[in-house]
């Protein structure tokens, strides 16, 4: 209860300091919202805080409405609140990031594209396009709709299609959409343009190894990537995987054990476990898969691997041995 009064007082002081429109009615709404929260009625608090933010333009109310709406997955209300927050504090990057994420979540692609194009122009003037496009890629990759993610990125990056970071992101978004041929075409162009692009070398080599084609070329690409980043766990994993495809199981085990010791994630555990399985070390394989499963139980590569090898998923749900 003490916390409630302190919190309400703090919020009230924020309104008093930042808005000329605060009166008894607004203070009452703040109190009503906090009481609703104590009662567990978050949706009512969201409505009230959003109403206060709309009336006063107060950043504190808008931010609180955004956070509360997100907590109950009311994305439309969260977006309305975040837009008020951003409008009244344009320097707060958290507000801008919240708006962009909510445009993505609510399927408002046109608004997101328009906003990103404006940000792209600002980044061009500041000479920060590389970091801008890396951030856009991270944002759109969170979309559950691969086609929509690619469409947004393509429209925002249209004027910069020849930039290496744009080419790489486009390639990987095409891969996520299921167009491996388009991914390979873009990556080949990128490697020709920039032979030291580590991620492109590795992605192209790994995709070939995974498809079990052009294995000698895949080996050369991954070997080149390793010369630039010899400690990268996922490139080491790629080398182990191409050795597996070449039928050299002992070499595959050596490389994948090294990759797994550096980064025991679900994808590497899927590869390492499959090699151990093919070396007739099935208990060891299950133990490795179990570690990866505990870290990321929804990883598609790991789940596909154990399903293909007809391993019951329940075997991965036990405790990890020391």
First-to-last CA distance in the chain? 46
Residue 12's pLDDT is 45
- Tell me how far apart the alpha carbons of residues 313 and 302 are, in angstroms, rounded to a whole number: 10
The helix (run of H) or strand (run of E) holding residue 313 is none
pTM for the whole structure: 0.83
Kindly list the distances between the CA atom of residue 97 and the CA atoms of 90, 101, 144, 192, in Å, as whole numbers in the listed order.
Answer: 11, 6, 18, 35
Cα diameter, the chain: 77
8 Å CB contact between 134 and 161: no
Other CB atoms within 10 Å distance of the CB of residue 119: 16
Residue 129 CA, chain-centre distance (Å), reads: 19
Residue 26's pLDDT is 66
Residue 19's pLDDT is 47
Other CB atoms within 10 Å distance of the CB of residue 145: 14
Residue 35 CA, chain-centre distance (Å), reads: 36
Other CB atoms within 10 Å distance of the CB of residue 20: 8
Residue 319's pLDDT is 65
- Tell me how far apart the alpha carbons of residues 320 and 236 are, in angstroms, rounded to a whole number: 24
DSSP codes of every residue in 107-138: T-HHHHHHHHHHHHHHHHHHT-HHHHHHHHHH
Residue 220's pLDDT is 97
Name residues whose C-beta falls within 8 Å of residue 229's C-beta, 6 or more positions apart in sequence. 198, 235
Residue 4's pLDDT is 38
Residue 161's pLDDT is 95
8 Å CB contact between 17 and 28: no
Q: What is the mean pLDDT of each run of 10 residues along the chain (322 residues)?
A: 40 48 62 70 87 89 92 95 94 94 96 97 96 96 94 97 96 95 96 96 96 96 97 98 98 98 97 98 96 94 96 83 54
Instruction: Calculate the dihedral angle through the C-alpha atoms of 254, 301, 173, 95, rounding to the nearest 10 degrees.
Output: -100
Residue 187's pLDDT is 97
Residue 28's pLDDT is 63
Residue 320's pLDDT is 60
């Amino acid at each position: 209860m003490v916390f409630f009064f302190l919190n309400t007082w703090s919020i009230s002081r924020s309104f008093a300091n930042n808005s000329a429109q605060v009166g008894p009615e607004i203070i009452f709404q703040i109190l009503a919202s906090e009481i609703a929260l104590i009662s567990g009625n978050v949706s009512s608090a969201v409505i009230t805080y959003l109403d206060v933010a709309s009336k006063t333009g107060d950043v504190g109310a808008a931010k609180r409405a955004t956070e509360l709406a997100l907590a109950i997955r009311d994305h439309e209300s969260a977006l309305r609140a975040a837009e008020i927050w951003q409008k009244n504090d344009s320097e707060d990057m958290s507000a801008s990031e919240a708006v962009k994420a909510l445009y993505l979540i609510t399927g408002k692609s046109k608004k997101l594209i328009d906003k990103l194009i404006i940000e792209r122009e600002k980044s061009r003037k500041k000479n920060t396009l590389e970091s801008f496009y890396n951030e856009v890629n991270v944002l759109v990759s969170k979309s559950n709709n691969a086609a929509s993610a690619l469409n947004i990125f393509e429209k925002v990056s249209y004027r910069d299609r020849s930039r290496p970071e744009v080419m790489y992101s486009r390639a990987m978004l095409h891969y996520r959409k299921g167009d491996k041929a388009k991914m390979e075409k873009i990556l080949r162009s990128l490697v020709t343009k920039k032979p030291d692009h580590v991620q492109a070398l590795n992605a192209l080599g790994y995709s070939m190894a995974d498809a079990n084609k052009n294995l000698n070329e895949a080996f050369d690409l991954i070997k080149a990537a390793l010369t630039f980043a010899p400690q990268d766990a996922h490139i080491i994993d790629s080398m182990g995987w191409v050795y597996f495809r070449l039928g050299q199981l002992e070499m595959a085990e050596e490389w994948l054990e090294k990759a797994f010791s550096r980064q025991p994630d679900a994808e590497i555990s899927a590869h390492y476990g499959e090699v151990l399985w093919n070396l007739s070390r099935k208990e060891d394989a299950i133990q490795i898969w179990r570690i990866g499963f505990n870290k990321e139980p929804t990883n598609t590569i790991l789940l596909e691997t154990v399903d293909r090898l007809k391993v019951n998923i329940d075997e991965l749900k036990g405790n990890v041995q020391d």
